Homo-oligomer: A and B are copies of this chain.
Amino acid sequence: MNETGEYEKRESETVIDSAAAKAHPEIAETVAKIKALRQSIDNVDTAIVSLLAERFKYTSQVGVLKARAGFAPADYKREDYQIARLHRIAVEAGLDPDIAEMYREFVVTEAKKRHQRIADAGGDPGVLDVFA
């Protein structure tokens, strides 16, 4: 299938010239649909990155409170609660719960690393505040 290579190249550039669009209207249509979906994906990513910014501000505050009170960064009961909760929310939202669990592991692992750094600095968020 020689043409596939051509299509693939064209698609990976996310542009299609008008001559190619006339020659292969079905490909032009597919590319247009992908472009529209990608804009929605980008919008979702903007929202998620903004929410992650808020999440890490909250967990940074938790890290400071824990460090100053001498609490440990990890909290397994809290994690069990989060696992069960996010599983339920994922299923309700139509998301593979494995994805929700991977998301949770990612943010909790990163938050714990930062909590540990705050604890090591004696409750001073310090350099973390560059992004807080």
Contacts and interface: CB of A to CB of B under 8 A. Distances in A.
Interface string A51-67: 11111111101100110
A95 B131 contact: yes
Contact of A93 (B53, B71, B94, B103): B53
Nearest to A57: B94
Contacts of A90: 49, 52-53
Interface in A16-71: 26-27, 30, 33-34, 37-38, 40-42, 44-59, 61-62, 65-66, 68-71
> Which 9 interchain pairs have the tightest Cβ spacing?
A53-B93, A53-B95, A4-B70, A96-B131, A44-B55, A30-B69, A11-B71, A12-B75, A49-B89
17 contacts: A7-B69, A12-B71, A26-B69, A33-B65, A34-B62, A34-B65, A37-B62, A45-B85, A45-B104, A48-B48, A50-B89, A51-B51, A52-B95, A53-B90, A56-B95, A96-B130, A102-B106
